[in-house]
Amino acid sequence: MKKITLALCAALASAGASADTILGFDASAGVWMPAYSGGVGVDNFNVDEFDLAEDNVTFLQAALEHPIPLVPNILVAHSKIESNGSTFLSENVTFDDETFIVGSEVATDLNLSHTDATLYYEILDNWVNLDLGLTARQFSGDMTVVSEFQSEEIEFSGVLPMVYGVARFDLPFTGWSIVAQGNGTGYKGDTLTDVTAKIRWDFVPALDFAVEAGYRAMTLDIQELDELQSDLEIKGPYLGLSLHL
């Protein structure tokens, strides 16, 4: 047991040694332009029929890095995901405990906004950068379905533990880099993944000021996590700005 403990401490110390040698702060902000596909509700109703608005999603991310061995770095992020739409039902459809009748005009508001708190270590810190950690994702969302005579509000809230990882490859002497970032979790057959691939250009190297462009895909294949039952995929391009101090 003592040998295992010493080995674990050595591994964490090695990860901590790769951290910034001085205190560092990194912030990003931008817009994500997703489209929605898949199913929701007991009957796995196709969300394409709601013709959900493809409104821009705003996101913010801030990370604090330090040189203290064994102590993880901290990242906080928030994405505000909201959309709405309507349709005339061609069949009876059940959302949670309420069945909406064929021929009804049904409107929906979908909110999947969430906030992440992540603790991570820098495993590599050179032209190849690798961060690994754990995320607690707090959902504060819901789906409201309304017709002329009926309504149902389906909650999707709570904290999900997720694995976190980022890999960044700097292209030498160019100011360009390629980044892959993702979170994922699975429980009793339910899965939630959130993956981003992007290109970053440090166009003001002296200030560590960069522009990022990429593609983000989030999937929610869930039946047991809360009231919301879904097999959703939310994906699309995004554009952001990043500053490192």
- The pLDDT-based confidence of 14 (bands split at 50, 70, 90) is very low
- Complete DSSP assignment for 91-106: S-EEETTEEEPTT-EE
Of the listed ranges 63-67, 71-75, 160-164, 207-211, the least confidently predicted one is 207-211
Max CA pair span of the chain:
69
Q: How far apart are CA 131 and CA 212, in angstroms?
A: 18
Q: How far apart are CA 185 and CA 183, in angstroms?
A: 7
- Total count of domains within the chain: 1
Q: How far apart are CA 220 and CA 230, in angstroms?
A: 6
The owner of tokens 């990370």 is 63
Calculate the average pLDDT of the chain. Answer: 88
Percent of the chain residues past pLDDT 70, beyond the cut: 91
- The pLDDT-based confidence of 1 (bands split at 50, 70, 90) is very low
DSSP E strands in the chain: the ranges are 24-32, 35-40, 45-46, 57-65, 73-80, 82-88, 93-95, 98-100, 105-111, 114-125, 128-146, 151-171, 176-187, 190-204, 209-222, 230-244
Average pLDDT over residues 165-184: 94
> Residue 97: how many CB atoms within 10 A of its CB?
9
Query: What is the pTM for the complete model shown?
Result: 0.86
Task: Give alpha helix (H) positions in 30-140.
Answer: none
Assign residue 62 the CATH number of its domain.
2.40.160.20
pLDDT at position 21 is: 53
Say whether pLDDT at 7 is over 60: no
Percent of the chain residues past pLDDT 90, beyond the cut: 70
Say whether pLDDT at 27 is over 60: yes
Q: What is the DSSP letter of 127?
A: S
Say whether pLDDT at 56 is over 60: yes
Domain with 18, as residue range(s), is 2-244
Average pLDDT over residues 135-143: 94
